[in-house]
Amino acid sequence: MSLPPLPEYDVKPSDELILLPAPRAQTLGAAEFQLADGMCIALRADCAQDLLPIGQRLRDALHQYAQTRLQLTANALQGTGITLVISGPPDSDEAYCIDIRPAGVMVQAGTPHGVFHGVSTLMQIAQQRGGCWPALRIDDEPDFAQRGVMLDISRDKVPTMETLRTLIDLLASWKINQLQLYTEHTFAYRDHRTVWEHASPMTAEEVLELDAYCRARFIELVPNQNSFGHLERWLKHPQYNDLAETPAGGETRWGVRPPSGLNPRDPRSLELLRGLYDELLPNFSSRQFNVGCDETVDLGQGRNQALAAQLGTGELYLAFLQQIHREVSARGHTMQFWGDIILEHPSLVPRLPQDLIALEWGYEHDHPFASHALAFAESGIPFYVCPGTSTWNAILGRTDNMLGNIANACDNGLKNGAGGVLNTDWGDNGHWQYLPFSYAGFAYGAAMSWGVEANRGLALARALDTFAFEDAAGVMGELMLALGRVGHSLDGWLNQRTYNATPFGRALLMGREEIRQVYGAGEGVRGAAAQAAQSIGALVQRLPAARMGRGDAPLIGREVALAARLAQHGCARIALAAADHPSRSAEMQTDLRAILRAHRPLWLARNRPGGFSDSAARLRGLLKDY
């Protein structure tokens, strides 16, 4: 029996104007507006300087896309061309209106933030139509007040500042207004060098610079520091190990694991967190703070085993969460935390403080966002829904799972009153996926969190061609989505469902015997793996036809090609494990060594060197398997 098909969310591309996100309401007219040299961009506000950076952004974009040179002015002169105006009390901080007529263009909003979004939309029009724009009326505002992206910088990639700035510009153009950098050990805390010295961490100065860069684009850079579980990179060191719940590690639902979580009953655990918060938080202008506290899998398995048996692990968890909340509140911040553990103890949800934000996360297309969101809503707990890009452990992504996961989160978040959507991009098990494979998830998440109904049928491939890859040939969008569908096809051929991964991604994390146990043996399995590898190879043959206008187009081409080769290597591992008499070990070693040689420069093109050796060691470990 094959797996049931995932729902299709993509639609056929159209020759019509495409916008990302699609606006709530738009009306097209028959006439046109023509930009011309000598026109002005008028800035109309009580303080015109409030609109100056936004006007400069529009001017520069029009020079790029329409080859026009417009001047900025605070006067509404005849023949102005484009007027940016702050007018009236805002119905929403981010609502805007665009009116394009033959006589001129007006972008109107109640706040600079709204004008910024209107200008982002105008820039997308100019990108497609140059200086000749259709008569058009747009009235737009978001469904969710908070629309964020969380990027994992702890397993194992820490992006360069250039990579982060480029990504921030892209996300801002798609109306994202919150960014988090998931942190375990990759901030350069002054007194904790042992933890981060080989990780190329973010420094305080870099955070200050990045915060200012985000603010100029109306993005809130929210501090993020996991504060309970997932502290393996701390607790493995002797000077911190004594703070662990299980100093020697122990049995968890994931099997035997090294020490991961803090001992919540040791006063020194809270003392450590106080010092981290005091050093980290002043570098951010945001008054929110994500303290993590997810997947505390060893809680009650070590030093607190007896107390957990008496009170329950839920009570231990809630007590420490409340202590952390008091520390965060004392520093003038609103606490965000991952909601998975408290939802395992639903009777405790009403006892949460009412002024925090629960982050309801889940990464499969059928995750129970409906019931989980309702649990927080009925208890009056503010919450976000948190889907993901479905790229980690996948190499090429998981297109249809990503689309279903994000749509599920946004539908049920909107239905149950979520305050925001935080779209996550994790780096589990070495962060082997390259950044361009996350663009589809970032784009669809931005679209759906802005307007669920307006963007449900988004022509995602065309949107990616236009706004992510700038591909005039229209190749890259569909290519990336198609590559992300091979893993699901392979699941079907194998009569399996691989959670949180693709089969070929998972095969790179397992030994041959484990692969054989999971996916089986025989000619059917070998044939399925070979068919997937052939599908990947056929798709990558389209790559040379792309005509990307991005400055990093050659790099993207190399990233896609090597990712395809790594995925094919994963397919070959499934086939090798399925054979009764494996005979390709030498060939597999040669292929993997070539992949590793090509992988390092691609990693360093966007990321710092710290973390690479840890990440690559997982791949090098496969050489012993051959």
Which of these three, 122, 140, 158, is where a domain ends?
Answer: 140
261-276 confidence digits (pLDDT tens) = 999 999 999 999 999 9
Q: Determine the pLDDT at residue 524.
A: 96
Are 125 and 246 found together in one domain? no
Residue 563 lies in a domain: yes
Q: Determine the pLDDT at residue 11.
A: 32
Bridge-partner residues for 26, per DSSP? 138
| Cα–Cα separations (whole angstroms), residue 404 to 98, 117, 393 | 31, 27, 18
How many CA atoms within 13 Å lie on the side-chain side of 330?
A: 9
Are 132 and 175 found together in one domain? no
Q: What is the mean pLDDT of residues 5-28?
A: 69
Residue 368 lies in a domain: no
Are 418 and 487 found together in one domain? no
Q: Determine the pLDDT at residue 368.
A: 98
Q: Determine the pLDDT at residue 76.
A: 72
Average pLDDT, the chain: 95
Are 489 and 415 found together in one domain? no
CA angle centred on 166, ends 398 and 406, rounded to 5°: 30
Q: Determine the pLDDT at residue 2.
A: 37
Q: What is the mean pLDDT of residues 158-178?
A: 98
599-615 confidence digits (pLDDT tens) = 999 999 999 999 999 99
Residue 442 lies in a domain: no
| Pairing outcome for strands 104-109 and 146-152 | unpaired
Which of these three, 114, 140, 166, is where a domain ends?
Answer: 140
| CATH number of the domain residue 164 falls in | 3.20.20.80
pLDDT tier at 621, thresholds 50, 70, 90:
very high
Residue 5 lies in a domain: no
Are 46 and 179 found together in one domain? no
Are 532 and 593 found together in one domain? yes
**Distance, CA of 306 to CA of 310 (rounded, Å):** 6
Residue 388 lies in a domain: no
Are 205 and 254 found together in one domain? yes
Residue 490 lies in a domain: yes
Are 493 and 596 found together in one domain? yes
Q: How distant is the alpha carbon of residue 259 from its chain centre?
A: 27
229-264 confidence digits (pLDDT tens) = 999 999 999 999 999 999 999 888 888 999 999 999
pLDDT tier at 218, thresholds 50, 70, 90:
very high
Q: What is the mean pLDDT of residues 204-211?
A: 98
Are 151 and 284 found together in one domain? yes
Which residues have CB under 8 Å from 131's CB, separation 6+?
34, 35, 36, 62, 65, 66, 67, 68
Q: Which amino acid would we find at residue 351?
A: R
Domains: count for the chain: 3
Residue 464 lies in a domain: no
475-518 confidence digits (pLDDT tens) = 999 999 999 999 999 999 999 999 999 999 999 999 999 999 99
Q: What is the mean pLDDT of residues 357-383?
A: 98
Q: What is the pTM of this model?
A: 0.96
CA angle centred on 19, ends 18 and 20, rounded to 5°: 130
**What is the percent of the chain where pLDDT is above 90?**
92
**Distance, CA of 612 to CA of 319 (rounded, Å):** 37
| CATH number of the domain residue 48 falls in | 3.30.379.10
Of 455, 475, 450, 453, the closest CA to residue 465 belongs to 475
Residue 451's CB: how many other CB atoms inside 10 A? 23
Which residues have CB under 8 Å from 493's CB, separation 6+?
2, 527, 528, 531, 532
529-541 confidence digits (pLDDT tens) = 999 999 999 999 9
Q: Determine the pLDDT at residue 584.
A: 75
In the chain, % helix, strand, coil (3-state, to 5) comes to 50, 15, 35
CA angle centred on 265, ends 259 and 271, rounded to 5°: 85
Residues 435, 476: contact at Cβ < 8 Å? no
The least confident of 20-29, 54-63, 75-84, 312-321 is 75-84
pLDDT tier at 578, thresholds 50, 70, 90:
very high
Q: Which domain holds residue 213?
A: 146-360+375-381+409-424
Burial class (CB in 10 A: 0-12, 13-18, 19+), 216: middle
Are 193 and 82 found together in one domain? no
Using DSSP, state whether 31 is helix, strand or coil. Answer: strand
Q: What is the mean pLDDT of residues 355-361?
A: 98
Q: Determine the pLDDT at residue 395.
A: 98
- Helices 439-450 and 399-416: crossing angle in degrees, nearest 10, is 20
Residue 288 sits at φ, ψ, to 5 deg, of: -105, 160
Are 298 and 190 found together in one domain? yes
Burial class (CB in 10 A: 0-12, 13-18, 19+), 76: middle
